[in-house]
Structure 1
């Protein structure tokens, strides 16, 4: 009997943090699970980063998203390779393992901190136990945020600070800030820093592959089919009857009792829109007309800080002093794990000049960059991760093209964030961007959940409105983007959805 002949308990489309976490939960609960992954499988010992090649075929075998992403921002169209993965584990095999829990005001309408949507359909307290369980499953280490009023996550002890980290922590505290050791999902701490932002060949980093798909396969109740692109859902009234999949140039059909979309906020809505049929003329689960809409990212505000001592790059520092200022929703500040030495300083100075139309002055940046590198040592790059808000016109279509408008309120908040960083950050620093920079690795919100069928695509349990046997377990469900990395929230959501399915 082949996998196409089996009626599975659940078919999970996508193997990132959401799909991997949910599929593992179901398999360990005794259910038969088939993972369908568009990307190709590679050797477990493979190790590479996100931007090492721009040849589609080479990208595919390295687990990178093979095709350029076409985007139209403020009416200007361009194409580029996004920082996304396509293979077992999806984009998570490349992530920096940052697993931060949001604040209560990210999900609830807190007095004094009004929520732009009135609050999520499920609030902080409903998510809290799943955040804790996700932290345990992903082996998260770090220290509690000293500004948080919530019970801390079950965190493992972090490794000792390096000289650079200790110097930066001391400088932040002297300036009245409240840094903490960033929450990171790494199994074996010693010697694992090299895998942050890269594939980990030793399964040290906890991602959708190592903490999801691989443990699911060990149960003997799960199978993984790679190179399997889901072209559409085959509908039978209000039920999904099968999925149509292109594998190696052939079209095959797979059946299950229940189906889970976990192809990401850019991929999952495309499947629904491509599945338009009788009874679902505008796409499956699209009675609200919101499938693919309310697309959000984060806005990166990158800057360099010189710690005063030289040493390796750090990813260990995070702080939320600027998370919410003067009624504005801003975001987290965290180290990126990148050093800005001479070459990087030249690059960012030239990019700033280009943004002001002064590219002709680029040759003049070499001397100040060399002097900065020699006198100040290598800088550490930090990012302010600013919340994006939902707008229906920001969307991804069935063709995969992203349409996005930079709204005036986002530009105003971004200016406020830069001012707050400028005033708060002690010592020597330099901003590394001129125009708003969208974080293309953090798409979310295109299948938002809620109680109102006219204003949402999913129910609070993750099931699609109007479809009996279809759930979603990726960042699509989020009604707002929050001011933190989405990974832990995706994992917590997947655990909650899996529990409800069972």
Structure 2
């Protein structure tokens, strides 16, 4: 460890999720020396029990790969504590993700004309991003089928997967109803003995995540190293660039230095670290001269619907296999993707949905009636059988008042303010109506009435753009005003788009890696000539 701490690396990457793992691997493959820093442990391929959602002990959470503290949030003016499903482990949050990696639509990146308020849009076009979408799909071994609505559909590197008959039948029903379903794009290798690990850590490397597709291949090059359980306390910088990192590892302070630094700590972690790193040159925090760091926080909104596709089908054979984009953009409204969750709904899920509806009704104060819902829930479950659960991924849009608020007393505590906008509520109503119509004539029931934000998808808090007055990062995701600090996690995104952000994060990280490598080629060439 002493050698690692005393070296001057080409690049230090803070964070090992999709953004950190991807950028580090690409840099190492291009001949640069890379040091990965991860706050949490490297759990390897060991089987570790999942962290129960009500766990508050920091040590117990970290031992299972979760962020040490829960999140404090003021949602629509009410304070609450929540578990944002943030990973603190080699692989980051991607260790627990569902491995759904889909491209955004062309209009997501190329136009801002349909947005309800000015956002500055994406400074990099879809066509500029296309080579890195292709590369990210190869890195993560994406399997699935081409989207039939995409005029320039991706050619995926892995073949389509075998589907259960119930999914095949449901896709045929959707096509007959005028929809355009296709097999979901997933980062998964279905190796012998794999029982599926979507939504939890994979111990057989069948799920491609920041560790298996990023960190491990980088280390195999011989040009990358990893320090786990290493917490970056602050980034030291002068007026023009980062000079070093102050870290804490196993209770001991260490200082690390590199020629370039990549911040990939996540949509909440990265802005939090930048705001904590104040000095005389950056009194409001790194990159925060225009009070934009931590603002424009976005999530996706999840609309979960249960579908009963037929009495004679085995609905218990659930898989994350079906996606469709017929509702992605409708009549000027930015909506999103609809896809199967790989879960089924039975008595418990039906009762939960009935409770949600009752709690929103005029009878909610008559509590004995709520207990009586158990009987109709059992009757409904017996009549309908088990249903497949689908989720609609509704795009969120940026508002500067939705923002991260740093906790000055506790660097492990994330605090944010978020208000659901009126325009998001209107689009939600449109989306729910369209989802119900899309599955007609099958029986369908939404599994909730209240808006449900996906707290695993924070993004937008360090948005990139060409104008320093409206963005934190430039088009290469380098912090405005700092010559050697880049960001490659979800915080760079100006809009959240209508798909899971993972593939976009990976593609952008690879693009940034190539920009860094290009800037260092003269030094590498000089070193080769001396070697």
TM-score by length of 1: 0.96
Q: Secondary structure at the match of 2:383?
A: helix
> Which residue number corresponds to residue 284 of structure 1?
286
Pair 1:364 & 2:366 matched: no
Q: Secondary structure at the match of 1:346?
A: helix
> Which residue number corresponds to residue 215 of structure 1?
217
Q: Secondary structure at the match of 1:265?
A: helix
> Which residue number corresponds to residue 56 of structure 1?
58
> Which residue number corresponds to residue 421 of structure 1?
435
> Which residue number corresponds to residue 451 of structure 1?
466
State the alpha-carbon separation in 2 of the partners of residues 85 and 365 from structure 1. Answer: 37
Pair 1:305 & 2:310 matched: no
Post-superposition offset of 1:49: 4.5
> Which residue number corresponds to residue 195 of structure 1?
197
Pair 1:492 & 2:511 matched: no
> Which residue number corresponds to residue 388 of structure 1?
396
State the alpha-carbon separation in 2 of the partners of residues 111 and 374 from structure 1. Answer: 49
State the alpha-carbon separation in 1 of the partners of residues 309 and 351 from structure 2. Answer: 19
Post-superposition offset of 1:110: 7.8
> Which residue number corresponds to residue 374 of structure 1?
382
Give per-residue Cα distances to partners, 1:49-76, cap 9 Å, x unaligned. Answer: 4646614322211111221100001111
Shifted more, 285-294 versus 490-499: the winner is 285-294
Change (3 A) 1:111 1:440: closer
Whether the 8 Å contact between 2:16 and 2:91 is mirrored in structure 1 is yes
> Which residue number corresponds to residue 92 of structure 1?
94
> Which residue number corresponds to residue 253 of structure 1?
255
Post-superposition offset of 1:48: 4.7
Pair 1:344 & 2:346 matched: no
State the alpha-carbon separation in 2 of the partners of residues 110 and 291 from structure 1. Answer: 22
Whether the 8 Å contact between 1:330 and 1:413 is mirrored in structure 2 is yes
Change (3 A) 1:112 1:413: closer
> Which residue number corresponds to residue 15 of structure 1?
16
Post-superposition offset of 1:464: 0.6
Post-superposition offset of 1:312: 1.9
Change (3 A) 1:128 1:295: same
Whether the 8 Å contact between 1:109 and 1:115 is mirrored in structure 2 is no
Stretches of structure 1 that go unaligned for 5 or more consecutive residues are none
Post-superposition offset of 1:114: 9.1
State the alpha-carbon separation in 2 of the partners of residues 119 and 101 from structure 1. Answer: 17
Change (3 A) 1:72 1:116: same
Stretches of structure 2 that go unaligned for 5 or more consecutive residues are 408-413, 518-531
Change (3 A) 1:430 1:116: farther
Whether the 8 Å contact between 1:332 and 1:484 is mirrored in structure 2 is yes
Give per-residue Cα distances to partners, 1:18-65, cap 9 Å, x unaligned. Answer: 000001111122211111111122241325546466143222111112
Residue of structure 2 aligned with 1:473, choices 488, 499, 512: 488
Structure 1 runs of 4+ aligned residues shifted over 3 Å read 47-53, 110-119, 189-193
Q: Secondary structure at the match of 2:131?
A: helix
State the alpha-carbon separation in 1 of the partners of residues 169 and 39 from structure 2. Answer: 44
> Which residue number corresponds to residue 206 of structure 1?
208
Post-superposition offset of 1:191: 5.1
Give per-residue Cα distances to partners, 1:124-157, cap 9 Å, x unaligned. Answer: 0011110011001100000011111224233422
State the alpha-carbon separation in 1 of the partners of residues 265 and 329 from structure 2. Answer: 31
Q: Secondary structure at the match of 1:266?
A: helix
Shifted more, 143-152 versus 388-397: the winner is 143-152
Q: Secondary structure at the match of 2:208?
A: coil
Within a 5 Å distance, the mapping from 1:3-42 to structure 2 comes to 3-42=4-43
Post-superposition offset of 1:164: 1.6
Q: Secondary structure at the match of 1:461?
A: coil
TM-score by length of 2: 0.91
Residue of structure 2 aligned with 1:152, choices 154, 172, 177: 154
Pair 1:439 & 2:454 matched: yes
- The number of aligned residues is 502
Change (3 A) 1:115 1:124: farther
Q: Secondary structure at the match of 1:457?
A: coil
